[in-house]
Amino acid sequence: MACLRQLQCFVFLTVISLLPAALAESTTLRLSLPGCPDKCGNVTIPYPFGTRPGCYRDVGFQITCNESTSTSTGTPPKVLLGTNLSNIEVIDINISVGETRVYKFIAFRYYNMSDQVEFNNTKASMDLTGRPFLFSHRRNKFTVIGCYNLAYIVGQGQESYQSGCASFCDNNLMNSTTDGSCNGLGCCQTSIRSALHYYEVQWGFKNNPDWQFNPCTYAVLAEEDWYKFQVQDLSQFDFFQRNKNGVPMVLDWAIRNNGKCQDGVEKSTNPACLSNHSICNNTRNGEGYLCQCMQGYEGNPYIPNGCIDIDECITRDKNPCSQNAICANTDGNVTCSCPKGTHGNPYTKDGTCIKDPEKFPYPARVAISTILGIAIFVGLCLLVAAQQQHKRHMKEKEEYQRYYSMMDNYLRVFSKKQIEIATDGFAETHVLGTGGQGKVYKGILQDNQVVAIKKAKEVEETQKGEFVNEILLLSLIKHKNIVRLLGCCLEVKIPMLVYEFVPNGTLFELLHGKSNYRPISLGTRLRIALESAEAIDYLHSSISRSILHGDVKSANILLEDDYHVKVSDFGASNLVPIDDTQIVKVVQGTRGYLDPEYVATAVLTKKSDVYSFGVVLLEIITRKCAIFRDETSERKHLASYFVSTVSKIKLHELLDKEIVTNDEKVIEVLHEVSHLAVWCLSVRGEDRPTMKQVVEKLQQLGRFHSSLLGLEKVSEDTESLLGESTFYSTSDTSAFHSTGYSSVLEIETRVPR
């Protein structure tokens, strides 16, 4: 038993002794894989780079640590890209931005006394093909040094590349002792394109007339900030001696054999971003991606658990807290707070936490008293307002009782509660549509009758009496092609009208609905047009006071199951005086259907409805929306497009292909319908037909078309109907195309007045 206790104590002490080492290891930055060296001399070798098999991601990231030179010379070992056969010496490797700085030999030419090139070096090219490296176009510049020196950089990426620059000297430069930048005098620099993996230097001029002053010229792709021009570099050989072992060049590296971040590379079988709290970013040079630690973390994102939390509280330049604030490090973040008893801004260097004031000092007591006084005053005001509102409600109730008694003999009067029950409290699922006059809801009354309930826009207090009188007049409308008004509710501030429900959608949905396309015969279209025209004509002329619809459009023409028409959405606001006109404060209606004369004058007339009906007639025969997009996706106004185009192209190119046939009689019917629509679209209202004339013409066309189908016997007058058109003579089959109409805002009608 004693032995068992001793064993338990030994295990416990062992775990305790190993715990600090484990914690230290978990918070220590690791750059290489376990068991792999992370240094070669003074150069850090982070993974995915490595010097041994199994220590690098693939051969493209292999590093050679050549210690033979250090043994013989006492200098640090050389770090080479690839194997010992490589002559590319590494200066440093940066995994944060994906850069490796290396040494690169300078290309030079030496001129002899005959002004001829005596020697060219051949070590200036570099080939990185097949490796994860590209020449950095952001950090490098192609630099040319010398008098009368033209050099080219010839490279290869996804395609061939060539660029270069030339430098010259003048007497002032040769005699100057002032150094400067590479501006073309003695030295020039130029940028390179991205995604290059190979380059070499080629020379332009074969002679150098300034060889006595400048016997040696140079060219190299090097780090941009490496070289500062000195005049002595032209006349002496110190420049070559200083840089004979190479100059710094920057290479961009990335994971290039695995796709891009958006390709889902980190979910592949060989991901590169192995650490938690790491992210994938596409490289800015060529194809591929880099890994980075998230904000608040640092380390190597390419190895498991390589990104560790930064303790901003102990790092002076990363601590965001003010001087006297409390800093608390969290995983990937930091929080700052003021000490207890203080307040202020703890998050900025200039912020301060100041001592809290005393509780309830005199200014605070004054402020609280003031607030209480204001609250009592506001409460009294609200009480008075509530009493006034109650009085108004009582007065409104008395007025509505009087209105009810007036309307009870004409219409069914609904209570507010009945309307709310029928529409489930005006639920959005009951909304049938929204228009210029208000919202329309589907409702089910207590006797299961389905109705349409229109919640109109707000009516001013002084207009309620007039509104009731106008509803009484609307109740007199009885026409088979007009939605019947069943009743109303005046118990609310916004009056509501109850209409019969029409179940088969609208003409707009039939013509333009994409989800349930249905073929429509010419006969059906003519009947829909005729019944719509008859309904509008009835509103204009068949009751004691004219009613202007004001918003004639295909969306306001409802259809029953057999496609019979029910015109809807004519409101009390459109009742007009005896002179058949109404001046409005704001022009209302639907784009594509608005009468241009109404838009210009704000005077609504019967002829405004005629114009809108003309647009509907075009919709019926073209099956295009009033505002549509053509083949080039350009928005077009159907009325202006049809009127301006019909004289330029054949009619059948404008009409719905479904109703165009080779039958000349049918084509003549389509000609007549088209001209009727154009007549309705005359710019001046006085040049348009009345709705009664429209009805008569559509009746004639309907009878004639029915005779073509053998549905009724045609009289001699009907057979000659199309030959005696009031619009044009059909003796010439091209007559329709020579009418000369321009745009809908410019045409002069040819219809006799």
Instruction: Read off the amino acid at residue 15.
Output: V
Question: Kind and range of the H or E element at 363?
Answer: helix 362-407
Is there a contact between 553 and 593 (Cβ–Cβ < 8 Å)? yes
Give the C-alpha separation, 79 to 65, whole Å. Answer: 5
For residue 256 the two structure tokens come to 């290039």
Which of 511, 505, 537, 509 has the alpha carbon at shortest distance from 524?
511
Instruction: Give burial (CB, 10 Å; 0-12/13-18/19+) of 663.
Output: exposed
Cα separation, 661 vs 651, whole angstroms:
12
What is the three-class DSSP state of 389? helix
Angle, CA of 585, 586 and 590, to the nearest 5°: 145
Annotated catalytic residue within 210, 252, 309, 551:
551
Nearest to 555 by CA among 590, 487, 507: 507
| Residue keyed to tokens 């203080």 | 342
CB atoms within 10 A of CB 562: 8
DSSP-assigned beta bridge partners for residue 200: 154
Comparing CA positions, the residue from 692, 697, 700, 690 lying closest to residue 727 is 697
Burial class (CB in 10 A: 0-12, 13-18, 19+), 358: exposed
Residue ranges in 624-690 assigned as alpha helix (H): 638-645, 664-680
DSSP assigned state of 295: T
| Angle value at C-alpha 226, between 221 and 230, nearest 5 degrees | 100
**Any catalytic annotation for residue 551?**
yes
Phi, psi of 705 (to 5 degrees): -65, -35
Report strand pairing: 107-111 vs 216-223. Answer: antiparallel
Round to whole Å and give the CA distance between 361 and 420. Answer: 55
Three-state DSSP at 221 gives strand
- Residue type present at position 191: S
**SS3 at position 12:** helix
Q: Is 582 helix (H, G, I), strand (E, B) or coil?
A: strand
Query: Nearest Cα to 499, choosing from 413, 568, 407?
Result: 568
Task: State the CB neighbour count (10 A cutoff) for residue 164.
Answer: 18
Which pair of structure tokens corresponds to residue 655?
């009409």
3-state SS, one letter per residue, for 99-154: EEEEEECCEEEEECCCCCEEEECCCCCEECCCCCEEECCCCEEEEEECCCEEEEEE
In which residue are the tokens 């609504």 written? Answer: 604
Residues shown for the chain? 753
C-beta of residue 527 within 8 angstroms of C-beta of residue 478 = no
The answer to whether 309 and 329 have CB atoms below 8 angstroms apart is yes
Backbone φ and ψ of 39, nearest 5°: -140, 145
Residues forming the active site = 551
